[in-house]
Structure 1
């Protein structure tokens, strides 16, 4: 795995989570700026997927291939599902769901690193 991209994804996801949990604490729904931030994190995740595909095409592989692929797929879908939920439920708990999804992404990225090495 490309370590720089993994660190960027984890840091961006943690910053997004902190921002969203602050909004939930203030009882505010997410806005366009939060969705834009989630879009940036998702773009970084997709860059990580492309990097993983390139590395596999070059002959490298994960120690646990099935686990790696499942974590990769889950990391791609977690944030859009959380954002969809937060947009649909304009309450404190709906906002918090996006924060939890961002935390999940940060953890999955670290787990991806572990399964690769």
Structure 2
């Protein structure tokens, strides 16, 4: 895993969560800029997944490979799933769904780092 990319994902995710929470408080539905931000976050997550996969194919493996792959697949699938859900919910709760997902992602990224390198604990 690339530490700098992981940190970028965590910061972007938290920033998007704050933005979506502000939209929720202001009683605003999800709009196209929210979708663009989710797409950017998704591209960052896909980049991390590709880098991690290349590293694993190259021989560098986490201690718990199956758990790592499960977490990695989950973090890649969360943003599109929440984007669809948030877009379908045309009330203020659409951005709330995205904010919730964006608060989960940094936690999962930290866990991925711990699985990849147990000495990070």
Shorter chain as denominator, the TM-score bin is over 0.9
Q: RMSD of the alignment, in Å?
A: 0.8
Q: CA deviation at 1:92?
A: 2.0
- Confirm whether residue 28 of structure 1 aligns to residue 38 of structure 2: no
Indicate whether 1:81 and 2:81 are aligned: yes
Question: CA offsets, 1:1-29, max 9 Å, x none?
Answer: 11111111111111111100110011101
Do the aligned residues in 2 keep the contact of 1:27 with 1:91 (CA within 8 Å)?
yes
For 2:95 and 2:2, locate their aligned partners in 1 and report how far apart those are by CA, in whole Å.
31
**Residue correspondences, number:** 117
Structure 1 residues not aligned, in runs of 5+: none
TM-score, normalised by the number of residues in structure 1: 0.96
Q: SS of the residue aligned with 2:60?
A: coil
Q: Distance in 2 between matches of 1:43 and 1:74?
A: 14
Aligned to 2:58: 58
Q: 1:64-94, CA deviations, whole angstroms, 9 ceiling, x for partnerless residues? A: 1111111101101111111111100111222
Structure 1 runs, 4 residues or longer, greater than 2 Å off: none
- Listed as ranges, the gaps of 5+ residues in structure 2 are none
Deviation at 1:63, TM superposition (A): 1.3
